[in-house]
Amino acid sequence: MEIVDEIIPCPKSGGAICYKVQVTPDITNYLSLSCGFFTNSLMKEGTDFYEEQMESALLSTLHKDLAWTDPETGLVWLPHTVNEETKGMVFAMGSNAQDWGWAAVKAIHIPEEERKNHPHPSKKGEFLEWKTDMNTIQMFHENDFVAALDYIGALAE
């Protein structure tokens, strides 16, 4: 099967930039740059996939609280986290669904002599070359996902 992709209007925000990718006949992924939320065709309440995601220890309470269900498709949308090793991270941050925004943190290069202090979490004997620098954190309004991506340099020039 050929992967089919297109740009569609965002069902959540109404923005113009939602990337839709059909990866198999049964699975379509969606990522909205308009609002920063994502979903796929398996993310419907009551499905095993949905239940696994919502029960995952990796999914924060804030993400669960921010989950939005499209009334037309039943798809559940969650905030997206971007982690670009050499650029930085963008993630949802806040105390609750009424008080949150996009946090953007830049990555910095770790000098060779300091790398021994930063072991790679999944590659024994290897060390990180980049780390996020929390001193660079900037908060962006929930409608400013693209501005947060731009801050860390994740957008093509």
Q: pLDDT tens, position by position, for the chain (157 residues)?
A: 677 789 999 999 999 999 999 999 889 999 999 999 999 999 999 999 999 988 887 788 999 999 999 999 999 999 999 999 999 999 999 999 999 999 999 999 999 898 888 888 888 888 889 999 999 999 999 999 999 999 999 987 6
- pLDDT for the residue numbered 118: 87
- pLDDT for the residue numbered 20: 95
- pLDDT for the residue numbered 33: 93
List the one residue out of 102, 108, 101, 104 whose CA is nearest residue 89. Answer: 104
Spatial distance between the Cα atoms of 37 and 145, rounded to a whole number of angstroms: 9
| Residue type at 70 in one-letter notation | D
Residue 133: Cβ within 10 Å count: 12
Query: Is the whole model's pTM more than 0.85, yes or no?
Result: yes
DSSP letter for 124, please: T
- pLDDT for the residue numbered 1: 63
- pLDDT for the residue numbered 146: 95
The residues facing 40 across adjacent strands are: 29
